[in-house]
Amino acid sequence: MTDAASDSLFGGRLTIDLDAIVSNWRFLKDKLATGSECAATVKADAYGTGLTQTAKALYDAGCRTFFVALPVEALKLCRGMPEAKIYVLDGLFPGTAETLVEKGLRPVLGSVEEIREWADFCRTTQIRHPAALHVDTGIHRLGLSADEFDAVMKDADLIGSFTPTLIMSHLACGSDPAHPKNRDQLAKFRAMTAPYPDIPKSLANSAGVFLGSDFHFDLVRPGISLYGGKAIDTAPNPMQPVAQVEARIMMVRDVPVGDTIGYSATQTAKRSLKVAVVAAGYADGMIRRAGSTDAAPGAFGVIGGHKAPILGRISMDMITLDVTDIPAHLVRRGAFVEMLGPQVAASDLAAYAETIDYEYLTSLGRRFQRRYASIA
C-alpha cells in the first residue's frame, strides 16, 4: 500500500481481490469428485496477482499443494506455508537438485534425463526424495512417452531411488469439451497409470475441472479459473473477477470530424468527438492489438457505468477513448477509467486482441500502483 500523496505519482492502479481468488478456489473444490484434492497453480506471479500474497491467502483457506513453473518461483514460496507441497512444473534444471531438496521442493520430472539426474542425487544422499512424473498423453510438450514411462517404471534401480508422489499429464483441448482429444488423452492416461494405483494421479487443469469427475483423479491443478479467467470456450464463465485495472485520465480534448487519432492514423473521426487520453498502454499490459481502426472496432473502458470505446492505436503509455456521449462531470482530468475488471472482462478484451485472457492477466500492472482490496 502507498499513501495518498504517492498515489498521484501513478498512471493507474491495479487492485487484486484475494477474497475473490479464495472464493474461486472453493467453488472449484466443491465441484470435485469425492477424494480429489484441489491444488493451485500460481506460476507467472500467480497470473499477475502476486505470487506470495495469493499463495498465502489460498494456504490460509486450506490449499496445501501448489504448482509453479520455475525453480526461482518455488523458492519464493518457502516461507509461511510449512505444510505446503510445492511442485516445479518445468522440471529439474541441470544442477538444481540440491537446492530443491534443501527447500523441500518437488520437481515434475518430464524426461528420462531428468529422472536419471534426480535418481543419481537421491542415491548420493541415500534419501528417496519426492518428485512427480510427467507423462505425455498427446500435447507433445514436456512429458515421458508411453514407452519411456513403461521403461522407467520397470527399472527398479531407477524408480526405486526416489519417491514418486504424483503422476500427471496435461490436457491439450480442455477448453473445448466436445473435442475428441479430451477423451483420447483420458484413455491414454488411464492406461499408462492403471498399474500404479498407489501413486496419486492428476490430469485436470481449470478446464478439466469442468469436464467432469472422470478427469479429476486424485488432484486437480486449476490456474486461470482461480483468477477469474474463462476456462471453457463454449459456456458462460462462472468465476468471480479478481483484478481491476483503473487508468487515470490525463486530459480531455476535442477532435474535429475527419481528423485522425493516434499513430499511423488508423482511426478517423466520423463526427466531432470528445476524447479522453488515459495513462495506460501496452507497457502496462493493455495489449496493442486491442486498438481500433476504421475497419474494425477495438476494446473499451468503462467510466461511471458508461462504455468508452478505444480510438486508434494503443501506445506504450497512453490510450485514447471516445467519451463523446458520457456525462461531462464523469470525464475530468484525474478521474479513473476501468480498463479491466468487473465491468470489462479479460476474456472480452482478449477477443478484441485476438489472444486469451491469460496474456492479459500475466502482463498487467508493471507500473501501476498495486493494492489488495475488494473489487465487488
For the annotated catalytic residues, the residue numbers are 43, 263
**219 bridge partner residues:** 37
Q: Which residues pair with 341 in a beta bridge?
A: 344
d(CA 248, CA 153): 58
Q: Are 246 and 279 in contact (CB under 8 A)?
A: no
Three cell numbers, residue 374 = 475488494
Phi, psi of 302 (to 5 degrees): -135, 130
Backbone angles phi, psi at 295, to 5 degrees: -85, -30
The dihedral sign for the CA sequence 323, 329, 334, 335: negative
Grid cell for residue 240: 468471480
**Residue given cell 519417491 in the structure block:** 163
Helix (H) or strand (E) holding 73: helix 71-75
Q: Report the candidate in 321, 340, 349 with the shortest Cα–Cα distance to residue 250.
A: 321
Residue 293, Cβ density class (10 Å: 0-12 exposed, 13-18 middle, ≥19 buried): middle
Intra-chain end-to-end CA distance of the chain, in Å:
19
296-301: which pairs have CB atoms within 8 A and are 24 or more residues apart?
A: 297/352, 298/352, 299/344, 299/348, 299/349, 299/352, 299/353, 300/344, 301/247, 301/337, 301/338, 301/339, 301/344
**350 phi/psi in degrees, rounded to 5:** -60, -35
- Distance CA(70)–CA(84), nearest Å, equals 17
| Tally of CB atoms within 10 A around 157 | 8
